[in-house]
């Protein structure tokens, strides 16, 4: 039971009326226009329902000629099973008032104190009352509105009336949660994608920054390597110079020793040359003597030979002259004998004498020639002997000359070598002085280079030359110069975006887990919702068929599209007079059939409706007498089984006669509705 009494003040056709209500069925009956529906409308207004009958304004519900109207409900807050509906208010009665003013100002009062609409909603929730649910309060003509509701809206009404809304809310909340999670996941995914792109950019920049850092570190290392390479170079140069200095000193010592040896050798050669020259001079004098003697002998032989040749010529001429003379004498002899045969010719005697002399002349000449030949031969032999001696002497002179020349050359060479050695000694001495000076400079540079290198770090092994290190430094400087746009803020930006990326990634992972959890939660809650809804509709369907069977009809209440809670709906099928059940609609059934079907459905839901108060206005307006009686009996029996308070408005009191029901009649007398209880 919810309402013990309602008080109407200047409300529609009521000037002032107190209407007591009792547990069970309360029947309000009376002729049309008496003000029956105004009672249910007053209850609805007091409960905060938005329905005002034919879209009237609340100010239109104030009695004509009045400026203010009130509807007060006396609510039952007595203990039920040891507990009050509103535990904080320790009274058995609560006064809920709705004040209406003509100027359009309306408010609620709770126990004569101002209350906000939210307070009223919370109060009614304590009583499990939802005045806007058609299954709780069904005004006049709402049966037709209920029929045209979508299956989804019908199902929601049944859930709300049965107190199963939390199951739907749980599912919808889980779906909203999933939607939020999915939206969050999608948002995180987009943010993650954007962050990843940004991070990739900054990673590239960070890699360049790291490369630049590495290049800078490399350059520092190269500077260190260069410093120690320079140290190594100076050490090598110093070591080489020291070694060269030692070599020069050794070379100088060697040259000095060679100079000494060369001087001694030169002296020996000069002495040998002097002796050879003396000997050569002696031999030369001997040669000259031999040449003079040889020349004399050769001249003597040559003179003998020339004389010999001349004598031979003369001998040949003498021979030829003698022969010519003989021939001439022979020619002359006959001629002399002919005229003067007996007288001797003086000419012939003289010729004979000449002839004889001429004949002896060749012999004399030959003898002279022989002597000359002997003399020439002797001179030749002597000349030959002298030539042999001279040749031997010449050979000795040649040998001595060659030796003298050789010794002279050797002396010259030794002197040249000595001069060269002296020059080399001088040059080496200069080089030694210069090297010692350079060594001091190098040692000073080395000390300075070591000091500079030590400031750059401990010594490292250097395998490259200074030029190679400088080349790499130049290359490194070029690469560093190419990264002038890479600033130190890149590391901070990369770390910031990296942290953001991993945070987003972690959030995305959590969101993914939450999505899986939400899906599992939806699945669990959907199964729970589906289970209770199937159980509820199965019970209602059984009751629905049972109730309709008494009106010679059959029907089915079933759940459709239960896989999706948003698409799921309640479908009602009904068939009268043996016809196949058809979906309930304003086109398939008549007005009476629709009223019977709707009322049968309301009665089938009674055992599962949690609200302690239910009301229906003119439910039987289109029913035939038989169905009115059947429904009236079913209404009484359905409500009597529980603790509910039911308010039914009908113009037909006759069908409730003799039944356990609280009957209230309403009449309108001269524009004022009057209420009377029927005992």
Q: What is the pLDDT of residues 186-203, one digit of tens each?
A: 888 888 888 888 888 888
Identify whether the C-beta of residue 197 lies closer than 8 Å to the C-beta of residue 455.
no
* Number of domain units in the chain: 1
What's the predicted TM-score (pTM) here? 0.58
Query: Does any domain span residue 495?
Result: no
Quote the DSSP letter at residue 290: H
Query: Does any domain span residue 244?
Result: yes
Between 43 and 405, the higher pLDDT residue: 43
Give the range of the structural domain holding residue 219, as residue numbers without chain letter. Answer: 179-456
Query: Does any domain span residue 211?
Result: yes
Identify whether the C-beta of residue 644 lies closer than 8 Å to the C-beta of residue 18.
no
CA atoms of 594 and 592, how far apart (whole Å): 5
pLDDT one-digit tens code per residue, 540-589: 999 889 888 888 889 999 999 988 888 999 999 999 888 889 998 888 88
Query: Does any domain span residue 67?
Result: no
CA atoms of 291 and 298, how far apart (whole Å): 10
Query: Does any domain span residue 534?
Result: no
Identify whether the C-beta of residue 661 lies closer than 8 Å to the C-beta of residue 25.
yes
pLDDT one-digit tens code per residue, 463-475: 888 888 889 889 9
Q: What is residue 108's predicted lDDT score, i.e. its pLDDT?
A: 93
Query: Does any domain span residue 223?
Result: yes
pLDDT one-digit tens code per residue, 20-56: 998 888 889 888 888 888 999 999 999 987 666 554 6
User: Which of 604, 617, 577 has the alpha carbon at shortest distance from 593?
Assistant: 577
3-state helix, strand, coil in the chain (%, to 5): 65, 15, 20
Beta strand residue intervals within 122-213, DSSP E: 137-138
Between 679 and 253, the higher pLDDT residue: 253
Sequential DSSP letters for 411-462: HHHHHHHHHHHHHHHHHHHHHHHHHHHHHHHHHHHHHHHHHHHHHH-S----
Residues 6+ apart with CB under 8 A from 665: 28, 29, 30, 653, 675, 676, 678
Query: What φ, ψ does residue 94 adopt, rounded to 5°?
Result: -125, 135
Query: Does any domain span residue 524?
Result: no
Query: What φ, ψ does residue 571 adopt, rounded to 5°?
Result: -110, 130
Residues 6+ apart with CB under 8 A from 269: 407, 410, 411, 414
pLDDT tier at 340, thresholds 50, 70, 90: low
Query: Does any domain span residue 140?
Result: no
- Is the confidence at residue 337, as pLDDT, over 60? no
CA atoms of 580 and 588, how far apart (whole Å): 11
């Amino acid at each position: 039971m919810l309402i013990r009494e309602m008080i109407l003040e200047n409300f529609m056709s009521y000037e002032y009326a107190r209407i007591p209500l009792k547990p069970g069925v309360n029947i309000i009956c009376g002729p049309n226009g008496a003000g029956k529906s105004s009672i249910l409308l007053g209850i609805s207004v007091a409960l905060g329902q938005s329905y005002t009958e034919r879209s009237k304004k609340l100010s239109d519900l104030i009695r004509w000629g009045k400026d203010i109207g009130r509807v007060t409900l006396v609510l039952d807050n007595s203990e039920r099973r040891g507990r009050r509906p509103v535990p904080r208010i320790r009274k058995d009665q609560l006064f809920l008032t709705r004040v209406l003013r003509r100027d359009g100002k309306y408010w609620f009062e709770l126990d004569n104190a101002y209350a906000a609409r939210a307070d009223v909603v919370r109060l009614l929730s304590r009583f499990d009352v939802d005045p806007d649910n058609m299954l709780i309060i069904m005004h006049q003509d709402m049966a037709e509105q209920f029929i045209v509701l979508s299956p989804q809206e019908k199902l929601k009404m049944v859930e709300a009336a049965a107190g199963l809304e939390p199951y739907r809310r749980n599912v919808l909340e889980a779906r909203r949660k999933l939607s939020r999670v999915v939206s969050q996941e999608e948002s995180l995914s987009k943010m993650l994608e954007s962050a990843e792109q940004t991070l990739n950019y900054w990673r590239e920049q960070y890699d360049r920054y790291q490369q630049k850092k590495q290049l800078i570190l490399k350059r520092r290392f190269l500077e260190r390597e260069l410093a120690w390479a320079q140290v190594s170079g100076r050490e090598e140069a110093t070591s080489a110079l020291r070694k060269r200095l030692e070599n020069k000193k050794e070379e100088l010592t060697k040259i000095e020793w060679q100079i000494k040896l060369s001087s001694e050798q030169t002296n020996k050669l000069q002495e040998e040359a002097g002796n050879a020259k003396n000997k050569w001079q002696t031999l030369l004098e001997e040669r000259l003597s031999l040449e003079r003697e040889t020349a004399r002998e050769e001249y003597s032989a040559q003179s003998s030979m020339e004389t010999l040749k001349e004598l031979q010529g003369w001998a040949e001429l003498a021979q030829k002259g003698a022969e010519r003379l003989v021939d001439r004498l022979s020619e002359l002899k006959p001629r002399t004998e002919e005229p003067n045969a007996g007288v001797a010719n003086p000419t012939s005697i003289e010729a004979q004498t000449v002839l004889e002399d001429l004949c002896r002349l060749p012999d004399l000449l030959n003898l002279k020639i022989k002597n000359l030949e002997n003399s020439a031969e002797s001179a030749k032999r002597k000349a030959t002997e002298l030539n042999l001696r001279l040749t031997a002497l010449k050979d000795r002179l040649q040998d001595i000359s060659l030796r003298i020349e050789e010794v002279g050359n050797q002396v010259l060479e030794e002197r040249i070598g000595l001069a060269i050695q002296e020059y080399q000694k001088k040059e080496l001495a200069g080089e030694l002085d210069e090297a010692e000076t350079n060594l001091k400079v190098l040692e000073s540079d080395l000390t300075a280079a070591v000091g500079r290198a030590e400031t750059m770090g401990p010594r490292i092994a250097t395998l490259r030359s200074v030029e190679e290190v400088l080349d790499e430094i130049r290359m490194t400087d070029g690469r560093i110069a190419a990264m002038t746009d890479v600033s130190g803020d890149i590391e901070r930006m990369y770390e910031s975006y990296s942290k953001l990326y991993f945070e987003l990634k972690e959030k995305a992972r959590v969101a993914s887990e939450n999505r899986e959890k939400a899906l599992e939660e939806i699945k669990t809650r959907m199964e729970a919702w589906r289970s209770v809804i199937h159980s509820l509709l199965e019970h209602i369907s059984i009751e629905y068929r049972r109730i309709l069977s008494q009106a010679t009809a059959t029907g089915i209440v079933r759940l459709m599209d239960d896989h999706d809670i948003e698409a799921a709906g309640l479908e009602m099928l009904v068939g009268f007079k043996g016809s196949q059940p058809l979906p309930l609609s304003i086109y398939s059934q008549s007005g009476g059939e629709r009223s019977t079907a709707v009322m049968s459905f309301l009665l089938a839901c009674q055992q599962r409706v949690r609200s302690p108060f239910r009301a229906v206005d003119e439910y039987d307006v289109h029913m035939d007498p038989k169905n009115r009686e059947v429904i009236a009996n079913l209404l009484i029996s359905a409500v009597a089984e529980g603790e509910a308070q039911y308010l039914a408005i009908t113009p037909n009191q006759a069908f409730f006669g003799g039944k356990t029901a609280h009957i209230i009649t309403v009449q309108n007398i001269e524009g004022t509705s009057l209420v009377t209880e029927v005992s």
